[in-house]
Structure 1
Amino acid sequence: MLLRRNFLAVVAGVALFGQTLVAHADLPDFTPLVENASPAVVNISTKQNAPVRGAAQMPDLEGIPPQFREFFERGIPRQPGRQREAQSLGSGFIISKDGYVLTNNHVVENADEIMVRLPDRSELQAELVGADPRSDVALLKIKADDELPIVKIGSSEKLKAGEWVVAIGSPFGFDHTVTAGVVSATGRTLPNESYVPFIQTDVAINPGNSGGPLFNLDGEVVGINSQIFTRSGGFMGLSFAIPIDVAMDVANQLREEGKVSRGWLGVVIQEVNKDLAESFGLDRPAGALVAQVLDGGPAAKGGLKVGDVILSLNGKPIDMSGDLPHQVGSMKPGDSAKLEVVREGSRRTLNVTIGALPDDDAQLVAGGGAGGSSASSNRLGVTVGELSDEQKKSLEVESGVVVRDVNNGPAALIGLRPGDVITHLSNEAIDSVKTFTRIAEKLPSNRSVSMRVLREGRASFITFKLPR
């Protein structure tokens, strides 16, 4: 009996070991990829002349880690007239045999000198051909004899969540560090980054990886490692890369035109949540809700209106509001866009000619004060007043009412403040206090109701429910 148990234990152990070997055999071998791609991956260092504190006033910071020195230096008075060299490190990759190199804009921004170190440890001074802060892409040029190793450029359009990807870069200055992981998601929109549909991965990316390439298993570059989400300053499992399709389009424009042109619709949009979807008669939360149409912009000329929900552009669905600027930004000024929108519960198609994104895209109107007669709606708990002609002109609105006072009630719960301007309530335009009061009195109970509010020049829709 004991012999039989020992035999079964041995058999089970062999089976488990065999399963482990099979599992390991299924993992990809990145060795050929790294050997072929590494020669085209470079280290980038920059120098920038910066003011330095006086030596007599500078305490001994020897032994203090570099990441903490800035904290201690802040309280030290500056001595004018002296300079020091501030250095930064990043990564990049060669895309042409005659010496064009791609990296991040933030790696070389404000640099007085850019140096590119090749895998053979030779260093070449680089010229900044052009940079695009909106996409965080920069194009460099080094002198070469058309024999430089180059990466293979792939396509990010077909990239799917779950695919293996590999990053090569110089985290913390350690050249040609290889890390691997999978694509976590595509088409990510990050705060203040409206024009890049980022690739999210779980590849370990740290300071110094910025600007380095992200490869697929075919050894093709599918992205530029750009950002990480971190609370500690180091890798925490969330890394973001610029799709190579976006980066190469930017690089080609910088090389040929010296600047980047993007499509522009001229609207302020917001996400459609469950309550907004219900208030606008949508089956599910989807699309981009138009909260503001900029006067004289392409959307205004094409007939787009506040309260429209954009569901698709040229047949491509707009599932999340962030999909719209990604798609519009990839278009060229003058292109024709067919927009499918929901307006007042019914679908319609609008044809809009895409404009050029202005250099200063913060074209929002300024808010105004209060004036005119007032009235109160006890049901909402808000007192509103008429807009004067001067206020309408400064706000660039045709109608609306201004919030004078907020009492306890639904208005206070949704965060209304004195000075806010209400232009729409329950999908109806507000042209006077009388209209506002009439609509407010008839609002349904326990059903999502939308309200469009202008605050400090920015418009947004909010939703609320009135109790029975």
Structure 2
Amino acid sequence: MREKGRFIVGWTALLLLGVWSLQAAEPGSPGLQDNLMEGISKKVFDSVVKVEARNGFKKVATGVVIDKDGYIVTTGLIWPLNKEIVITTADGKRSEAKFLGMDPETHLALIQAKEKNLTPISLGKTEGLSPGSWIGVISVSPENAAQATQGIVSSVTPERLRLNVWVTRGASGSPVVNKDGQMVALLRGIYSEDQPVLFEFREQEVVGSGYIFNTAEAPSSGMALGIPVEMVRTISAEIKEKGKVSRGWVGIAFSENEDGQVEVNNVEKDSPAELAKIQEGDILVSIDGKKVAGAPMVRSDIRGRKPGQDVKLEILRDGKKVETKVKLGEYPEREARRELEVRFPRLFPAPPTAPAPPAREAVPETPPKPEKAPRPPRVMAERYGTWPGWEKRKYIGVYMESLNKELLEFFGVKEESGLLVNRLTKDGPAEKAGVRVGDVVVRVDGKKVDTVGGLSEVMQDKKKGDKVKLEIIRDKKPLTLEVEISEEEGPSISNFFRAEPYRETWGEVTKELQRQYDRSRKDYEKYSETYRDKMKDLSKELLDQYQESYEKAKGLYEDSKSKGRLRKLLSDRNRVVYRA
């Protein structure tokens, strides 16, 4: 009886082991998924290339070969503007490529390689994909090797796939494949459009201080966006035929207000919107009878149409509904470029601005001015790696910030950029020269200034006592003021990070460290008292100026009728602004 019991227990264990083995062998199991990914990676990687755009600095992305003639789809973030494009294939071959065009809505670009013996990928369909469907992403690693990740589809729409998959830098433009190794989408990038995780330091710099605080953004980790393969086919075919993708355009900037309504913030001059008499402050209610569900929906709807189409817009203006018809224009390339510069400033830095041409004199044959002597090279301090180190900086005593397009128009600035004076150092050089809070600086010594850092660089190239010419806009009228450069002493952070001289023996290193310590201690004893006094004075000055700013802000708030639009524009800066 005991032997029979053992026999039954043994068979039961075998049966349970068999059931467990069958469960482990199901198609969705991790083990088979890894094997599947390995096979697909080998199959697809021959169709994947590394794309590099060079001109002073390098932009790297991934691309996918879609036919035997060397046509490759990739991300529009490599938009070159006279830059050299080079591709690297799976076997390490390098080939020049030509940029053919880009779609401003999806950021899909089409390039063509000179090398024709490339392996095209097999194109599939998004039909059959649903939330939870398995997908893989094949890209190129920084070492030019195959790089594969896998995940699932989060959601599917005709315009985009949301993917739950981890992607790395340089993976934009990679193929998103199904279990058959067919491309079902082109990876656009990480998903951070709607609700980015944001931490922000307000950009505020004392001109000449060298300290800048700006904004940083953390993406939604593990989420990505893909362009459906059907759209890839259509867009690449249109670029191949026309060299571009024609998108509808009305010429408005808009955002969602505090009530969730889509509000027009700005109307482009001579745009279809201006011709249709759309106004700032209008609320978009419906497009061709379709209720507006949000700002992204408006942008997608308008750009999804073709130029020349008539669109009926229902608008809420001053509490009353108004209907207007707009004939769409074509989305201009300059708008697409500006949009990319705003969203990706590190990838699309603004081109350097040339100095304004000198005005022609009425006096004939004016003798040429003597060439300016070259500025002597800066001599670095003798100490290495010590802190606190001190250095002299030039300044004019203004606190400034950059303005967006809407605020430039409000202040009457016709230039493409300008810096708003929002605070002045009391009895500083700028205040003594007549600069006021609310002035907008558009040029310095005849040169355009786009950023506070750019103006700071101009200051540092001057000598104490030199004068700098500021071209400003005040009350929408141009005005020129000359400001004398002043100088102050402050801590040198850059001095702390300077490279250490090479030492051959450990004993020399120890001695050098002791010398550094002694110098630092003497510096501290010498300057700490002066620095503490400076900080006390600065704290008092800031407290006084913030009190003054508070009183001015309070006055602006109470004067709601005349300043209401300015308050609105300032609050709009915290919104996500869309253009269509």
Shift of residue 170 of structure 1? 0.4
Question: Equivalent residue for 2:149?
Answer: 179
Aligned partner of 1:255 among 221, 237, 240: 240
CA contact (8 A) 1:312 1:318 kept: yes
1:329 aligns with 2:303: yes
1:142 has 2:113 as partner? yes
Shift of 1:354: 1.0
Query: Which residue does 1:422 correspond to in 2?
Result: 564
Question: Which aligned pairs between 1:81-160 and structure 2 lie closer than 5 A?
Answer: 89-107=60-78, 109=80, 113-131=84-102, 135-143=106-114, 148-153=118-123
Equivalent position of 1:166 in the other structure: 136
The alpha-carbon deviation at position 113 of structure 1 amounts to 4.0
Asked if structure 2 preserves the Cα contact closer than 8 Å seen for 1:453 and 1:459, the reply is no
Find the aligned partners of 2:575 and 2:170 in 1 and give their Cα distance: 39
Q: Please state whether the residue corresponding to 2:568 is helix, strand or coil.
A: strand
Deviations 1:73-127, CA, capped at 9 Å, x for gaps: xxxxxxxxxxxxx655432111222111122233463685433333344333323
SS of aligned partner of 1:109: coil
The question of whether the paired residues in 2 share the 8 Å contact of 1:339 and 1:351 is answered with yes
1:407 pairs, out of 554, 558, 561, with 554
* Per-residue deviation, residues 326-363 of structure 1 (Å, max 9, x unmatched): 22123222112233555666767543211222344476
Q: Percent identity?
A: 24
TM-score of the pair, normalised by structure 1: 0.56
Amino acid of the structure 2 residue aligned with 1:324: V
- CA offsets per residue over residues 163-182 of structure 1, 9 Å max, x none? 33221110223433222112
Q: CA deviation at 1:47?
A: 5.0
One-letter code aligned to 2:87: V
Query: Is the alpha carbon distance of 1:345 and 1:203 closer, same or farther for their aligned partners in structure 2, counting shifts above 3 Å?
Result: same
Instruction: Provide Cα deviations, 1:39-91, integer angstroms capped at 9, x if missing partner.
Output: 3222334554x4xxxxxxxxxxxxxxxxxxxxxxxxxxxxxxxxxxx655432
Query: How far does residue 226 in structure 1 lie from its aligned partner after superposition?
Result: 3.6
From the superposition, tell whether residues 345 and 183 of structure 1 become closer, same or farther in structure 2 (CA, over 3 Å).
farther
- Aligned partners of 1:173 and 1:208 also within 8 Å: no
SS in 1 for 2:154: strand
CA distance in 2, matches of 1:43, 1:460: 36
Give the drift of 1:265.
Answer: 1.6
- Aligned equivalent of 2:183: 221
Runs of 5+ unmatched residues, structure 2: 198-215, 339-404, 413-473, 479-550
Counterparts of 1:312 and 1:7 in 2: how far apart (Å)? Answer: 72
Deviation string for 1:259-285 (max 9, x for gaps)?
443211222221255xx1xxxxxxxx5
CA contact (8 A) 2:95 2:115 kept: no
1:269 paired with 2:243, answer no
Looking at structure 2, the residues matched to 306 and 157 of structure 1 have their Cα atoms a distance apart, in angstroms, of 42
Describe how 1:2-401 pairs up with structure 2 within 5 A.
Answer: 10=13, 18-22=22-26, 24=28, 29-30=36-37, 33-34=40-41, 36-48=43-55, 50=56, 89-107=60-78, 109=80, 113-131=84-102, 135-143=106-114, 148-153=118-123, 161-185=131-155, 199-217=161-179, 219-228=181-190, 236-244=221-229, 247-271=232-256, 273=258, 276=259, 285=260, 288-314=262-288, 318-341=292-315, 350-361=324-335, 364=406, 366-368=409-411
Answer whether contact 2:171 2:189 (CA < 8 A) is retained: no
Which amino acid in the other structure matches residue 169 of structure 1? S
Unaligned residue ranges in structure 1 (runs of 5+): 51-85, 189-196, 277-284, 370-389, 395-403, 424-450, 462-468
Contact 1:340/1:350 (8 A) holds in 2: yes
1:232-274 superposed Cα distances (whole Å, 9 cap, x missing partner): 999941333345555555544443333443211222221255x
Distance 1:39 1:456 in 2: 51
Other-structure match for 2:363: none
Question: How many angstroms apart in 2 are the aligned matches of 1:311 and 1:292?
Answer: 17
Whole-angstrom CA distance in 1 between matches of 2:10 and 2:276: 80
Partners of 2:106 and 2:10 lie apart in 1 by 63
AA partner of residue 101 (structure 1)? I
Secondary structure in structure 2 of the residue aligned to 1:422: helix
Give the Cα separation in 2 of the matches to 1:211 and 1:90: 6
Cα distance change of structure 1 residues 226 and 111 upon mapping to structure 2, 3 Å threshold: farther
Bigger radius of gyration, 1 or 2? 2
- Of Structure 1 and Structure 2, the greater strand share is in 1
1:258/1:351 CA distance change after superposition, 3 Å: same
Q: Is the 8 Å Cα contact of residues 108 and 114 (structure 1) preserved in structure 2?
A: no
Q: Match for 1:453 among 565, 568, 576?
A: 568
Q: Deviations over 1:407-453 (max 9, x none)?
A: 39xx96xxx99998425xxxxxxxxxxxxxxxxxxxxxxxxxxx982
Structure having the higher helix fraction is 2
**TM-score, L = length of structure 2:** 0.47
Counterpart Cα distance in 1 of 2:559 and 2:225: 37
2:445 matched residue in structure 1? none
Residue-pair matches, total = 345
Q: 1:296 to 1:422 in 2, by over 3 A?
A: farther
Preserved CA contact (<8 Å) 2:48 2:140: no
| Secondary structure of 1:106 counterpart | helix
The 1-side partners of 2:289 and 2:90 are apart by 46
CA distance in 2, matches of 1:134, 1:171: 27
Structure 2 residue aligned with 1:381? none
Tell me, in whole angstroms, the C-alpha distance in 2 between the residues paired with 1:179 and 1:254.
Answer: 30
Compared with structure 1, are the counterparts of its residues 171 and 260 closer, same or farther at alpha carbon in structure 2 (3 Å cutoff)? same
Secondary structure at 2:410's aligned position in 1? coil
Judged with a 3 Å threshold, the aligned counterparts in structure 2 of structure 1 residues 316 and 181 are, in CA distance, closer, same or farther, namely farther
| 1:25 to 1:119, Cα distance in 2 relative to 1, 3 A | same
Counterpart code for 1:453: K
Question: Kindly tell me: are residues 151 and 272 of structure 1, through their superposed partners in 2, closer, same or farther at Cα, counting changes over 3 Å?
Answer: farther
Cα gap change, 1:18 to 1:97, in 2 (>3 Å): closer
Q: 1:206 touches 1:234 (CA, 8 Å); kept in 2?
A: no
Q: Does the 8 Å contact 1:166/1:180 carry over to 2?
A: yes
Aligned equivalents of 1:87, 1:305: Cα separation in 2: 42
- Using a 3 Å threshold, how does the CA distance of structure 1 residues 23 and 349 change in structure 2: closer, same or farther? farther
